[in-house]
Structure 1
Amino acid sequence: MYKQTQYDSWLIELSNYFIKEYGYQMITMSKDNTEIWMVNPLNKVNPIVMLSSLPISRFNAEAIGKHRESLAIVFKTMAEGINISVYPEKDYITEKNVVVGPLYKSNSLALSQFKNIETVLKESNNPDRALSKAVINLKRTVQQSQKKSFVKAFPVTNAISTICIVIFSIAVYLRMSGIDSTTTAVMLGAFYKRFILDAHEYWRFITAGFLHVDFVHIMMNLFALRNLGSMLEPVYGHKKFLAILLAGIIGGNAFVYIVDSGVVGLGLSGGLFALLGALLVYLIETQAIKNPKVLRQVVSILMINLFISLMPGVSMAAHIGGFQAGVFLGFVFSKRSSWSTLRKQVAVLGSIFAIAIIYIMTQKPYTTVDLALDNRVIDAWSQIGLKSYADRLLRLLF
Structure 2
Amino acid sequence: MSVWKQDLYFWQLVHYYVTERGFRLLYEKNKEVWLEDENPKPKRIIRIARRDFDWQNQLRKDVTETVKRAELLRKQLKQKKIAGENIYISMYPPVDSWDDLTRPFYLGKKQQTMMKMVLIPSGLEEKRSVTSGELSKDLIPAFPIYEDIDMAEVVIGRLKREVRQHTKKKEEEERSFFLYGKPIATYVLLIMIAVMFYIVEQNGGSTHVLTLIEFGAKYNPAILDGEWWRFFSSMFLHIGFIHLFMNSLALFYLGGAVERMYGTSRFVLIYFIAGLIGSISSFAFNEQVAAGASGAIFGLFGALLYFGIAQPKLFFRTMGMNVLVILGINLVFGFVMPMIDNGAHIGGLVGGFLAAALVQLPKERGRPRQIFYLLGTIILALSLFWLGHIKEDQQMSSLLSLQLAQEYMQEGRFDEAYPLIETVLEEENDNPEAYFLMAYLEYEFGDYEKARESLLKTVELRPSFHEAHYNLALTHSRLGNTEEAIASLEEAIALAPEEEEYQALYDDIMTD
TM-score by length of 2: 0.43
- Shift in Å, 1:210: 1.0
Which residue is equivalent to 2:344?
A: 318
Query: Which structure has the larger Rg?
Result: 2
CA distance in 2, matches of 1:373, 1:364: 21
- Within a 5 Å distance, the mapping from 1:62-211 to structure 2 comes to 62=36, 72-76=172-176, 153-175=182-204, 181-198=208-225, 200-211=226-237
Equivalent in the alignment of 1:277? 302
**Would the aligned equivalents of 1:309 and 1:316 in 2 still touch at CA under 8 Å?**
yes
CA RMSD in angstroms comes to 3.8
Q: Can you list the C-alpha shifts for 1:50-94, whole angstroms capped at 9, x where unaligned?
A: xxxx9979985649999978864553279xxxxxxxxxxxxxxxx
Aligned counterparts of 2:220 and 2:167: Cα–Cα separation in 1? 48
Hey, what does 2:262 align to over in structure 1?
Answer: 236
Q: How does 1:284-323 map to 2 (within 5 A)?
A: 284-289=309-314, 291-312=316-337, 313-323=339-349
Take 1:194 and 1:255, find their aligned partners in 2: how far apart are those partners?
15
Residue 359 (structure 1) aligned to one of 386, 395, 416: 386
Distance 1:317 1:56, change over 3 A: farther
Task: Choose between structure 1 and 2 for higher RCO, CA contacts under 8 A separated by at least 6 residues.
Answer: 1
Query: What is the rounded CA distance, in whole Å, between the counterparts of 2:299 and 2:368 in structure 1?
Result: 23
Distance in 2, matches of 1:220 and 1:307, equals 17
Residues 1:333 and 2:352 are matched in the alignment: no
**1:89 paired residue number:** none
Partner AA of 2:251 in structure 1: L
Query: CA shift at 1:185, angstroms?
Result: 2.4
Distance (Å, rounded) in 2 between the aligned partners of 1:322 and 1:269? 8
- Whether contact under 8 Å (1:255, 1:321) holds in the other structure is yes
1 CA distance for matches of 2:244 and 2:366? 37
Shift of 1:173: 2.7
Q: Could you tell me how far apart the structure 1 residues matched to 2:166 and 2:391 are?
A: 51
Decide whether aligned partners of structure 1 residues 231 and 258 sit closer, same or farther in structure 2, where only a CA change above 3 A counts: same
Q: Tell me the distance in 2 between the aligned counterparts of 1:74 and 1:301.
A: 23
The whole-number CA distance in structure 2 between the counterparts of 1:334 and 1:293 is: 19
Q: Is the 8 A contact 1:73 1:286 kept in 2?
A: no
1:292 to 1:236, Cα distance in 2 relative to 1, 3 A: closer
Structure 2 unaligned spans of 5+ = 1-27, 39-164, 414-512
Indicate if the aligned counterparts of 2:207 and 2:240 stay in contact, CA closer than 8 A.
Answer: no
Structure 1 residue 291: Cα displacement: 3.6
Deviation at 1:288, TM superposition (A): 4.0
Measured after TM superposition, the shift of residue 231 of structure 1 is 1.4
Check whether the contact 1:252–1:321 (CA below 8 A) recurs between aligned residues: yes
| Structure-1 separation of matches of 2:219 and 2:186 | 26
- Structure 1, residues 74-118: CA drift from partner, whole Å, max 9, x if none? 53279xxxxxxxxxxxxxxxxxxxxxxxxxxxxxxxxxxxxxxxx
Q: Paired residue for 2:47?
A: none
Residue aligning to 1:98: none
Query: 2:273 maps to what in 1?
Result: 247
Q: Aligned equivalents of 1:372 and 1:271: distance in 2?
A: 30
Verify the 8 A CA contact 1:157 1:229 in the aligned structure 2. Answer: yes
**Shift, 1:277, TM fit:** 0.3
CA offset at residue 293 of structure 1? 4.4
Amino acid across the alignment from 2:215: L
List per-residue Cα deviations over 1:38-61 (Å, max 9, x = no partner). xxxxxxxxxxxxxxxx99799856
- For 2:372 and 2:177, the matched residues in 1 are separated by 30
How far apart, CA to CA, are the structure 1 residues paired with 2:166 and 2:308?
15
Q: Normalising by structure 1, what TM-score?
A: 0.54
The answer to whether the 8 A contact 2:277-2:347 is kept is yes
2:211 maps to a residue whose letter is T
Amino acid at match of 1:298: V
Preserved contact between residue 270 and residue 321 of structure 1 (Cα < 8 Å): yes
Q: Match of 2:281, as an amino acid?
A: F
Structure 1 residues 73 and 232: CA distance shift in structure 2, 3 A = farther
- 8 Å contact 1:277–1:326 — kept in the other structure? yes
| Alpha-carbon distance in structure 2 between the residues aligned to 1:164 and 1:259 | 25
Contact 2:200 2:215 in 1 (8 A): yes
What secondary structure, in the 3-state scheme, does the structure 1 residue paired with 2:320 have? Answer: helix
Counterparts of residues 218-237 of structure 1 (less than 5 Å): 218-237=244-263
* AA of the residue aligned to 2:265: K
- Deviation at residue 156 of structure 1 after TM alignment: 1.0
In 2, the alpha carbon distance for the partners of 1:286 and 1:381 equals 56
1:219-269 Cα shifts (integer Å, max 9, x gaps): 1111111111221113322222112111122211211211222x1111111
Mark the runs of 5 or more structure 1 residues left unpaired by the alignment. 1-53, 79-149, 384-398
In 2 relative to 1, CA 318–77 (structure 1 residues): closer, same or farther, beyond 3 Å? Answer: closer
1:342 aligns with 2:442: no
Distance change in 2, residues 1:254/1:171 (3 Å): same
For residues 290 and 167 of structure 2, the distance between their equivalents in structure 1, rounded to whole angstroms, comes to 41
Hey, what's the Cα distance between the residues in 1 that align with 2:311 and 2:292? 31
Identity over the aligned pairs, expressed in percent? 23
Shift of 1:272: 0.4
Matches within 5 A, 1:257-276: 257-261=283-287, 263-276=288-301
